[in-house]
């Protein structure tokens, strides 16, 4: 049985950084409306709290992709499990992700969405693990850079567990 051994980012620090990111996005997209594309399921909590901090007209859409299964290592094979409900052509789009690890999933998603001709497309992630990167992706907003630990909480899971923790914790077997 796996257990959370350390709190990597506490609840207050998370909320403060999400507020700062919302202010940055508001400034960068001033005068425009924005479509936030949440990557299910991990980004749901981050997206909902981030959206509250963005002082612009925002709409949501969601995609579900898989590259992990029930493992702690990305397989590198990306499958779209749920596509967008509406067109992004001509719209300002911000992909909202929970964590960037190898970059393979996000690179695939970014290129896939670029083909749909949005007015602009950016990437926002709560967590970034640069030490694991295999493919560089153009991330515009990063909440926190973290070490190569398997983390859970604030939407991130292991086998569908731990998503509801109000902090980011390190999971050890």
Active site residues: 101
| Residue 132 DSSP code | G
Sheet with 151-152, strands from edge to edge, namely 3-9, 168-172, 151-152
Distances (CA, A) of 122 to 3, 60, 113, 125, 165: 34, 14, 10, 10, 27
Residue 75: alpha-carbon gap to chain centroid: 18
What is the Cα–Cα distance from 105 to 101, expressed in whole angstroms?
9
Burial of 38 (0-12, 13-18, 19+ CB in 10 A): buried
Q: Is 159 left (phi over 0), alpha (psi -120 to 50) or beta?
A: left
């Amino acid at each position: 049985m796996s257990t959370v051994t350390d709190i990597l980012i506490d609840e207050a620090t998370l909320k403060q950084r999400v507020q700062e990111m919302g202010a940055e996005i508001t400034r960068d997209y001033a005068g425009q409306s924005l479509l936030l594309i949440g990557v299910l399921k991990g980004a749901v909590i981050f997206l909902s709290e981030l959206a509250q901090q963005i002082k612009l007209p925002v709409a949501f859409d969601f995609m579900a992709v898989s590259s992990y299964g029930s493992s702690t290592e990305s397989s590198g094979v990306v499958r779209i499990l749920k596509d967008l409900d509406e067109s992004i052509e001509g719209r300002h789009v911000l992909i909202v992700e929970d964590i960037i690890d190898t970059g393979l999933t996000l690179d695939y998603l970014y290129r896939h969405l670029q083909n749909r001709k949005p007015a602009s497309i950016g990437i926002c992630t709560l967590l970034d693990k640069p030490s694991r990167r295999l493919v560089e992706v153009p991330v515009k907003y990063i909440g926190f850079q973290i070490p190569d630990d398997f983390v859970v909480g604030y939407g991130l899971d292991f086998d569908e567990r731990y998503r509801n923790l109000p902090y980011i914790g390190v999971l050890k077997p």
